[in-house]
Amino acid sequence: MEFYDEDKPRFVFQSRPSSSRRKTDDEEEEDHKAPSKIFISISVETWSNGEDIALLNALKAFPKEAAMRWEKVAAAVPGKKSKAACMKRVTELKKGFRSSKSGAN
């Protein structure tokens, strides 16, 4: 077991190797630039007709006043859909329903 010693450093930082020459302004600016490419992972969830029907049935089964409604709705939908995915899908379905309803008039 090692005891705390005031003579020993508490934190060790790894320093960059020092160069004998000084960086130019362009090199300094290059060090502070953001990376030229940023990769973002976006998952697109697809919903089957059966999952949509199960989602709508779960919404009927668990009214707005139900405690932890969205967790229960997500659990009732096959395919291990998350609470956020279910909420997003309901929004999409409402939007599609409204646009199809307005187009029918």
Give the tens place of pLDDT for each residue, 3-27.
Answer: 555 555 555 545 555 556 676 766 6
Range of the domain at 61: 49-104
Q: Give me the pLDDT at residue 1, please.
A: 46
Is there a domain that residue 65 lies in? Answer: yes
pLDDT mean over 47-53: 95
Residue owning tokens 């307005």: 102
Pick from 37, 23, 104: nearest CA to 96: 104
Is there a domain that residue 18 lies in? Answer: no
CATH label of the domain that carries residue 55: 1.10.10.60
pLDDT mean over 49-66: 96
Pick from 38, 51, 49: nearest CA to 77: 51
Number of domains in the chain: 1
Q: How far is CA 63 from CA 17, 49, 85, in A?
A: 63, 22, 18
Residue owning tokens 């705390």: 4
Is there a domain that residue 8 lies in? Answer: no
pLDDT mean over 53-81: 95
**pTM above 0.85?**
no
Is there a domain that residue 25 lies in? Answer: no
